[in-house]
Structure 1
């Protein structure tokens, strides 16, 4: 190694610049091969992108020493001073890769793009600052470039100045152009990957861009009608409408030909799907790169190495399981959107349970579909309860001629009648029903619409049935605890062995939950009591009762009790009161819910599907035009804040010191997902994921975080921001 004292990264790794450039080049070549672009160009861009870090000013700032002057230093600019070392025909692509791999060239959030700086300062001043001490560090930079295979020559300061103004002029023209840059996205993806994995980079690049062997999903069974249907079609896209337990997941996977992005709406469903797919494909794909991407990814991959946890969000996996939130940047052009675009372009994208989203999220998902179609993706949509109005919107968007449409016949649907619906007035009126079920050793599932309601119901269950196994599941638990609860609920250990607890128990038990139970958790209980929700959501909930299908369960019915809607809009939250009232009206009472009638009932509740207008915020328009300026990205869109996600995390006071001393995985497991507005008044750490610190009194291992206790604690001066 030459010039090992010249670093690319600061503490704790202090990676030498030569090593970092080599690692990024390794990933860039793999990415280029994977997406079918110029491998040699990718390597050149990777080697060039950070060579400007050889500048003494960058090294000074890396060591946290005093800086010279007030003008911001950007290593991307100093890297571009070497652009003339490369053939003129590839210089534009190299500039795309290098000059904006961290910052927008203009209107950067911190106003540090090259065009921001040249507007605030004279271009000559910007050049002089970035080329200062040229004779000192330029030869070292050339040595590193030469060591990495770049043909170099002596480079005068005059030539460096010419290079600067060439790049400056190019950026002024590039900003006026519209659209994304594959070259920029490739470099960003490679840089992020290598920066995260460091010395493990070479090992983990070996599995990138592999196509999974999906032969497992060709299994057939007479009880699963979709397994009997052919997936052969020249049409690139798919819409499957089928009830829970009909084999939608297998069918959607059978339609895929390449790498797969699998999206689901809820965190709990994503964890479960990751475990399921990993188990399904392990035999035929022993080294397959399957990743889980959301705020609590490490839970479902607990036990793997830190590097395996870190890699989850990066490019090139064979299968990536995630929420729409992780790819919404391609709609709004937020930071890193081009790296996501490079990763997903041309892939198979499964959008499962698309009907379960709120109106704003649904609008964003449909816009994602619009973008994915433009990127050449094959889009496969699965649903149990999609309103016809929404179905027709999607069909129009994809083009009916491009979509394989699959539905079950009435005769097939009749085989899935499994619930008797009972309407009741209140939780209190269900107590005799619950008591009888417990006496008969039934598994009971109680579902609330809000965390606070679930906590109250759980307290009542614990008091009335202290000797019966019970658990509470919602989104306000520590992530480590949440992962254990999900495994406990499913009733299988990490190796898939039955534990005979809850879902696999043969004795009475009670689970109290919120909406997290609705999607993709493979559980089958004997009785449900649920608060009224929109009809499509309730159908999903019902699917957690009498779910198991075999020769002994076909034709047998189990009870579901639905509590009537509240009388005012406040108590109806998070749902619309009118939707709840119409949904309740559509349910039978003390009768079988026939699967063949569900679509008609759904359409009665949702005759139209309102979509918030997000077109003005999107970077890809209905006309098919990209409107974002070249080599730029946008600050976080306010629309993303309206997605159904918890945007920040908190930890309890007792965990603060452990969090500060912990590693990546240990910190993640202490975190509690929460909305910013619930904790904004509390002190916030600056380490890790910057958690807010909440009092111990607001959290318990059984009930999770109690927002009512949190509100009381806000008045305590010890916890508030001073």
Structure 2
């Protein structure tokens, strides 16, 4: 009987795939990859001065032999009995075989055996303690190993790989292989770790390994998935052992769709900056263009052209938040097709799950449906599809073992182009991580575009400084025409809109009067607590009017369950007239909407600029058809405190500087940028520990458990967001309702991490506002944090009803 590699149970029966069958299916996927991406591989090899034919050859050899560690008596006995072989990890026991073969092949890198490292890491991501606990020995099936190695040339000919490389005749089994004991294998692995640690060019090492490894993972993972799918959905007979089952080798290798320029522009004539992005296709760009002027379309034109010009095969959009990621992904699906657009962030599974429910029109998904959703989520996680939308958190963690498939993801990024949208949005700590990332991207020669409606000069200068040190330089593009638009007038008021003690009654009356005139008004507060107070008062006053229809007023922030947030956003988008939207800064970037009038608390100049992008959006003039579009800016309560001013949600120093330079006047977007430059004139960005951690993770170093607590929002060794901006997931007690079935991701709400820390520090283990609930998934426990603050879909967490909770005043979301 042929040696086995894969087990797939169905209806209490076990079905098997042979090692040869799985290896051939893996190679079929490789064949499709090489067929579609030969130009991509050639440019990658040219970047690092590698021989492309040898790269292809070593991919073939490594993928064919990646599971050869399964040719042991222990593994074969276990799989026949339907057992797993955790005590006999095949990637570990393949090591001696690959060590022997490595001596007779031409390695990609002479100093580091990239091929061996890829096999070692194809089930468990490389880290400094990998396989340290293996203390078992195996009996190698030497005759089977010899037969398998000696069959390589025939399979090479059968699958017609001769188009891409010539196989070595010398790669055959010669006599007795030198097998090693576990302790010696571990010593050899330690020696490779040491060689990696002293290798001088960590960028080159990580880039080559990650790209090579990502192709191995692609071929192995989807050959395995194909067999499972074949057994589950196709095969109905009595046969139990199968060889190759993959018939369509192209379906796991997707091409970037070639969307015509006019389709991206929706038949509109391109603006000058869009034309320049398209025609020049510089690999490293900065783009400053106002809201509503087609930055996204310009970025797509740039990305498509750069992919063609520099032979890249993927486009990644990195967004500031999950909400913006969801919105961008929906937009791309309508243009490029769902099959070509991936999504990943901390709650992308929920988003994809809800979409599946809508598509098949059922309330609860079957286990099979859920597996399909997990598969889609995984594809987003590793940037599998031609276009992927993600958060900057996930992107950064791809470079430093921040999750279990980070090396797979990083490999796919090696030939991607990356667009960083709304790059102004982040606080200083996160911006410094991004600046450090840009430096790594430049060294890896990964093209990227940084764009925003407000790019302060301090940021532009820091990015250009990177370009001067690592050629080529960044090209700055301006939407000069759009920057001259004057869509609104700013009125600066010296009084607050709301404080803890009182609300500005004059403003409330004005808003109510405008509502009766049918105007669309946005009221933007800096904290959730203050937005709730304003919302409650406005709703109460509207109800007193006894209008014919229910008041069209919505409270919006990111502190709702995903379903509640989606319902709110759909309502906002559907009702663009006579609407009162009370919100926090979440609307600055999340929704393409426009108001007639805006009432805003004072915020840093760049944030006010973004809020202004939702006022008279896309218009040239602040007066239209007799309507004056104004942003009325009010001081925050921090200006009226005698002491104890806090730096939440915004730095008080930034607020004071903005107050100094912001005057009552008609504003163009360029004029707002000038204020931003003055406010941030002494701002300095420093590089972070991201570079150091990246180098330590090239190739082993830290595990993903070292880097994060398990989610992209909870950094451990590497914190993307400052602690005061970090968030955790909780389930409102009203959603939980003491029913374990409600312990679901879609019932989670993000709250600031400091809420929990504040309560823990005050009460210790006797928490008042939080409790824990446990859900058992098989033998595994999953812990959920329950928040006892009253919650409903209208208000979110109703702080006023929970006096025990202190300082919620400072929460910004």
- Fold conserved (TM > 0.5)? yes
**1:120-269 alignment, distance < 5 Å:** 126=135, 129-131=136-138, 133-134=139-140, 159-161=178-180, 165=184, 168-169=187-188, 171-177=190-196, 178=199, 179=202, 180=206, 181-182=209-210, 183-188=212-217, 199=229, 205-215=251-261, 216-218=263-265, 226-227=273-274, 231-233=278-280, 235-256=282-303, 257=305, 258=307, 259-269=314-324
Q: Which residue is 2:384 aligned to?
A: 316
Distance 2:28 2:296 in 1: 35
Distance 1:193 1:658 in 2: 40
Distance 2:223 2:572 in 1: 38
Structure 2 residue matching 1:518: 3-state secondary structure: helix
What residue ranges of structure 2 are gaps of 5+ in the alignment?
42-51, 108-112, 157-170, 231-245, 308-313, 360-371, 544-549, 708-714, 757-769, 807-813
Whether the 8 Å contact between 1:348 and 1:378 is mirrored in structure 2 is yes
**1:371-386 alignment, distance < 5 Å:** 371-386=440-455
Whether the 8 Å contact between 2:379 and 2:385 is mirrored in structure 1 is no
Structure 1 residue matching 2:379: 3-state secondary structure: helix
Q: Bigger shift: 312-321 or 83-92?
A: 83-92
What residue ranges of structure 1 are gaps of 5+ in the alignment?
119-125, 492-501, 621-625, 715-722
Structure 2 residue matching 1:560: 3-state secondary structure: strand
Q: Bigger shift: 442-451 or 678-687?
A: 678-687
C-alpha change, 1:703 and 1:332, in structure 2 (3 Å) is: same
Residue by residue over 1:629-672, the C-alpha shift from the partner in whole angstroms, topping out at 9 and shown as x without a partner, is 5344442063643427766433345666999669xxx9443333
Q: Which residue is 1:496 aligned to?
A: none
Shift of 1:90: 5.9
Q: Which residue is 2:163 aligned to?
A: none
Shift of 1:6: 5.8
Distance 2:774 2:510 in 1: 46
Q: Which residue is 2:397 aligned to?
A: 329
- 1:80 paired to 2:95: yes
C-alpha change, 1:710 and 1:551, in structure 2 (3 Å) is: closer
Whether the 8 Å contact between 2:487 and 2:618 is mirrored in structure 1 is no
Q: Which residue is 1:586 aligned to?
A: 661
Residue by residue over 1:44-92, the C-alpha shift from the partner in whole angstroms, topping out at 9 and shown as x without a partner, is 4345444545767679999999999xx9653321233443785631673
- 1:650 paired to 2:666: no
Distance 1:457 1:23 in 2: 61
Distance 1:677 1:22 in 2: 52
Structure 2 residue matching 1:360: 3-state secondary structure: helix
Match of 2:573 among 490, 502, 507: 490
The alignment yields a C-alpha RMSD, in angstroms, of: 4.5
**1:695-710 alignment, distance < 5 Å:** 698-706=790-798
Structure 2 residue matching 1:464: 3-state secondary structure: helix
Structure 2 residue matching 1:7: 3-state secondary structure: strand
Structure 1 residue matching 2:254: 3-state secondary structure: coil
Under a length normalisation based on structure 2, what TM-score does the superposition of the two structures give? 0.70
Q: Which residue is 1:682 aligned to?
A: 772
Structure 1 residue matching 2:293: 3-state secondary structure: coil
Shift of 1:371: 1.3
Distance 2:697 2:557 in 1: 39
Distance 1:346 1:584 in 2: 45
Distance 2:489 2:13 in 1: 58
Whether the 8 Å contact between 1:265 and 1:353 is mirrored in structure 2 is yes
Distance 1:575 1:434 in 2: 26
C-alpha change, 1:74 and 1:322, in structure 2 (3 Å) is: same
Shift of 1:289: 0.8
Distance 2:774 2:801 in 1: 19
Distance 1:676 1:366 in 2: 25
Distance 1:63 1:516 in 2: 55
Distance 1:194 1:530 in 2: 55
Distance 1:426 1:185 in 2: 54
Match of 1:405 among 471, 476, 479: 476
Q: Which residue is 1:97 aligned to?
A: 118
Shift of 1:570: 4.9
C-alpha change, 1:59 and 1:709, in structure 2 (3 Å) is: farther
Whether the 8 Å contact between 1:363 and 1:611 is mirrored in structure 2 is yes
- 1:519 paired to 2:589: yes
Match of 2:541 among 464, 471, 493: 464
Q: Which residue is 1:542 aligned to?
A: 612
Match of 2:488 among 418, 422, 428: 418
Q: Which residue is 2:48 aligned to?
A: none
Shift of 1:397: 1.0
Q: Which residue is 2:310 aligned to?
A: none
Structure 1 residue matching 2:676: 3-state secondary structure: helix
Shift of 1:342: 1.4
Structure 2 residue matching 1:89: 3-state secondary structure: coil
Aligned length: 668
C-alpha change, 1:342 and 1:435, in structure 2 (3 Å) is: same
Shift of 1:439: 0.8
Under a length normalisation based on structure 1, what TM-score does the superposition of the two structures give? 0.78
